[in-house]
Copies of this chain bind each other. A is one copy, B any other.
Amino acid sequence: MDHKDAIAATMTALADPTRRDIIDRLRGGPLPVGAIAKTMPVSRPAVSQHLRVLSDAGLLSVTPSGNRRLYAIAPDGVDALRQYLDGLWDDALAAFARATQDQAKGKQDE
């Protein structure tokens, strides 16, 4: 399933703390690579590699502007993860309700 691969890529992309830091830098709007790296404890190539991972995961969009490349958060990529978690949330609540209901009826698992 192509959709599950997208979820996997998005999840692993967001798992790294440095990449979440980059995402936080972009919350205010698009930024070029140098501006991001200047406020971070890692080198610029490291930031570049992280931006690649985030872009491949669909979390960032890139718009070349002359000499620089502006990176911005892509709402669609974030939404994919949101839908996954919403589904997980629904199932968790349903299972929880069913478990407590079964417990009230005195049924143990079989």
B-contacting residues, A62-94, CB 8 Å: 65, 70, 72-75, 78-79, 81-82, 85-86, 88-89, 91-93
A26 touches B72 (CB 8 A): no
| B92 touching A74, Cβ below 8 Å | yes
Cβ-defined partner of A91 (8 Å) among B73, B74, B108:
B73
Contact B88 A73 (CB under 8 A): yes
The chain B residue with its CB closest to the CB of A28 is B95
Q: How many residues of A contact B (CB 8 A)?
A: 37
- Provide the main secondary structure of the chain A interface: helix
Copies per complex of this chain? 2
Tell me, yes or no, whether A99 is within 8 Å of chain B by CB: yes
Any chain B CB within 8 A of the CB of A98? yes
B12 touches A91 (CB 8 A): no
Q: A14 in the interface, Cβ–Cβ < 8 Å?
A: yes
Judging by beta carbons under 8 Å apart, are B12 and A8 in contact? no
Across the A-B interface, give the 9 residue pairs with the lowest CB-CB distance, nearest first: A15-B15, A73-B92, A27-B91, A29-B95, A75-B92, A12-B15, A82-B85, A11-B15, A78-B89
